[in-house]
Amino acid sequence: MPPVRAHVVVIFLFIVCVGVPYLAWKSKQRLGDGPLPMPRRRFFIQTILVQLYLFLIAVGAIWPDWRALFELPPAPLRAWGAAALMFAVLLGVMWWRWPHRDADSKERLSRILPSERGDYPMYFLVCLAAGVFEEAIYRGAAAWLLERFTGSVILAVLIASVVFALAHVIQGWRSVLVIFFIALGAHALVIFGSSLVPVMAAHALYDAAAGVLMPRWYEREKARNLSPP
């Protein structure tokens, strides 16, 4: 690996494995139990820009092989079928978990998900960015580089899954654990389908569905709790 590339790789892995989890934890502390410190639209734009920034560093870290991030699966039916199954399972888990979430978890999600119709166009862009950029960063570049450095696919997947889960700590520690297992499933799907693209699509669609369904469930519960017995 040329020296310049090596520096970019080290910077990328440090940012992804250390910097992003640390900043996510600090954001969780700053947010606490209060409202977002900025309008939702600004929060969504900031989220997209951060993901784009990390994606560009990821591209630089694996240059000139970055096109492999968007290679289509060699067996499309198998890969897309597995992605569709994963999407359906995730929807089922989301529906099952919602009644078991504590009030604080639901409140945190309500603060970062759309609350009115005007929020959705920008939120769906966030979903698209998350699906494409996060998969390229964690399931793509980070996993590939960690495998190169550790010599182990399993260790690379575990590390990438842990840091991906910690990057979502703003959703709460229970969600971090769930996201860790979702990340493991996503890595397995990438390996099974030999492509990131179906996983990108499943990720984006799941986030979009969460942004539509969870706020409705939350408002329905609030209305039910406020209604007289």
In which band, very low, low, confident or very high, does the pLDDT at 39 lie, cut at 50, 70 and 90? Answer: confident
| pLDDT one-digit tens code per residue, 174-226 | 889 999 999 999 999 999 999 999 999 999 999 999 999 999 999 999 888 76
Query: Which pLDDT score, from 0 to 100, does residue 19 have?
Result: 95
Task: Delimit the domains of the chain by residue range.
Answer: 3-226
Q: Which residue has the higher pLDDT, 157 or 106?
A: 157
Question: How many percent of the chain have pLDDT more than 70?
Answer: 95
Measure CA of the first residue to CA of the last residue in the chain; give whole Å. Answer: 69
Query: Which pLDDT score, from 0 to 100, does residue 172 have?
Result: 82
Average pLDDT of the residues of the chain:
91
Q: Left, alpha or beta for 13 (phi > 0: left; psi -120 to 50: alpha)?
A: alpha
Handedness of CA 22, 49, 105, 167 (dihedral sign): negative
Q: Which residue has the higher pLDDT, 3 or 184?
A: 184
Is residue 8 pLDDT above 90, yes or no? Answer: no
Are 134 and 206 contacting, i.e. CB atoms less than 8 angstroms apart? no
- Residue 46 CA to its chain's centroid (Å): 15
Q: Which residue has the higher pLDDT, 229 or 205?
A: 205
Residue with tokens 């979009």: 208
Query: Which pLDDT score, from 0 to 100, does residue 162 have?
Result: 97
pTM above 0.95, yes or no: no
143-146: Cβ within 8 A, 24+ apart:
143/187, 143/190, 144/62, 145/9, 145/12, 145/13, 145/61, 145/62, 146/13
| Mean pLDDT, residues 133-159 taken together | 96
Please report, for residues 20, 22, 61, 79, 174, the alpha-carbon distance to residue 169 in angstroms, rounded to integers and kept in the order given: 10, 10, 25, 30, 9
At 74, which amino acid appears? Answer: P
Query: Which pLDDT score, from 0 to 100, does residue 4 have?
Result: 46
| pLDDT one-digit tens code per residue, 40-80 | 899 999 999 999 999 999 999 999 999 999 999 999 999 99
